[in-house]
Amino acid sequence: MTKTQRTRTAAVIGGGIAGTVTAIALREAGIEADVYEAYDYSADGVGAYLTVQVNGLAVLRELDLLRAIDGLGFDTPRFTFHSGAGKLLGSMDTTGSRGDGLVTRTIRRAELYQALRDEAGRRGVRIHYGKRLASYGDRPESYKDTEHADRATARFTDGTAAEADVLVGADGLLSRMRTLIDPGAPRPRYVPLLNTGGYAGIDVGAEPGTMHMVFGREAFFCYMAAPGGQTWWFANVPQQAELTPAQLAVANEGWRDRLLRTFAPDRVPATTIIQATGDILAPWNTYDFPRVPHWHRDRMIVIGDAAHATSPTSGQGASMAMEDALVLAQALRDHPVPEAFTRYEAARRDRVEKIVADGNKKSGEKMPGPVGRIVRDAMLPLVFRREARKPSTAWVVDHRIAWGATV
């Protein structure tokens, strides 16, 4: 492959959201894509859920993938915000101003991954499980000056390798590909919040389709009515120092009691929901990346969380991963490497870094001190009134990418 030749094959590392959608989009672009996923086929478990916003769903629509997630999860077109005292601070539409029929959807993570992988398989993408990227191989001497000279090799921990014109690192927050591209790449930044959540077998009368967000006295709580009389919820608990895996395991032992104590002062149904939850998800740390300086080198590139993880508060990580997938496939469809990578980065960097910064700022609102809490609860109704008139996040959710456009 010479500098002017188009990409014909790609090895996509990571079978999460970014990896699977990228492989599907690359196939649409006429590029053969294989996915290499570190875990086994059945490793996803029940796990948490996530909300795919309309800009992400628009990508799925562009790739004719909406049918693949039909019947999964439920629509969540509205947020309401409450103080710990139960006072309604404001409400917001989550669907943006496009009015193009898309509605924000909340889906179990494992079900979303599975649906996307199944559809990728139907479209001819091969997904190889148990393949953990270890290193990036140089071309053997014998290949120099042959048609394979510019191809790249991914080497896996099981001793096997895969060769392709490009390697796409969609291997998430702890990306190995990121450090192969830049050994000095920053590590994720700790955001001082613990995450948790669960599925409660109780109907607390929450309005269907609404994510009820509570800025509690000690911590943040969100709950929503799910079909079948369940309530899905998550909580963010301030935690100044980053906990090690061992400390997280210790925290998990008394986790339900700690959560019940944390939300006891709030006049919302948080404690009822927590008590009605069988298995509460063990606490985990929150991270983001203000900036990953190098997204690509040679024939390798990182996308999705590997390039720009955002704190979950933005609710945009999955949608950004989907946008990345579409834009990278467009760029590789229309331009040779490295121009394709440069154009991809020019199209994506400003947008994703602004979303990460916004997510970090909003995470800060979840952990004010006692004075900050009073100011926040006084200010938020004004903020939400202004938001209802002119949403400041319209640029995020109204973003649309036409598959036919050139990057």
Contact 17, 56 (CB under 8 A): no
Which of the residues 92 through 151 are near ligand FAD (CB under 6 A)? 131-133
Strand partners, 162: 154
44 or 387: CB nearest ligand FAD: 44
273 or 303: CB nearest ligand FAD: 303
Cα–Cα dist 213/391, whole Å: 17
Q: Which stretch binds ligand FAD (CB under 6 A): 3-11, 15-23, 71-79, 396-404?
A: 15-23
Q: Which of 10, 11, 18, 120 binds ligand FAD (CB under 6 A)?
A: 18
Q: Which stretch binds ligand FAD (CB under 6 A): 31-39, 201-209, 342-350, 390-398?
A: 31-39
Residues 6+ apart with CB under 8 A from 320: 56, 304, 308, 310, 352, 355
Q: Which of 11, 12, 17, 273 binds ligand FAD (CB under 6 A)?
A: 17
Judged by CB under 6 A, how many residues of this single chain contact ligand FAD? 33
Instruction: Give the alpha-carbon dihedral of 406, 338, 16, 77, to 10 degrees.
Output: -30
Residue 50 touching ligand FAD (CB under 6 A): yes
Closest CA to 284 of 233, 221, 321, 239: 239
Residue span 310-349 as binding mask against ligand FAD, x where in contact by CB under 6 A, dash where not: --x--xxxxx-x----------------------------
Closest CA to 106 of 226, 269, 282, 274: 226
52 or 301: CB nearest ligand FAD: 52
Residue span 229-268 as binding mask against ligand FAD, x where in contact by CB under 6 A, dash where not: ----------------------------------------
35 or 200: CB nearest ligand FAD: 35
Minimum distance from CB of 382 to ligand FAD (Å)? 26
Residue 352 touching ligand FAD (CB under 6 A): no
Which of the residues 274 through 313 are near ligand FAD (CB under 6 A)? 304-306, 312
Query: One-letter amino acid identity for 341?
Result: F
50 or 332: CB nearest ligand FAD: 50
Q: Which stretch binds ligand FAD (CB under 6 A): 46-54, 96-104, 203-211, 394-402?
A: 46-54
User: 10 Å Cβ neighbour count for 392?
Assistant: 10
Contact 133, 13 (CB under 8 A): yes
Which of the residues 146 through 175 are near ligand FAD (CB under 6 A)? 170-172
Which residues lie near ligand FAD (CB under 6 A)?
13-19, 36-39, 48, 50-52, 131-133, 170-172, 176, 195, 304-306, 312, 315-319, 321
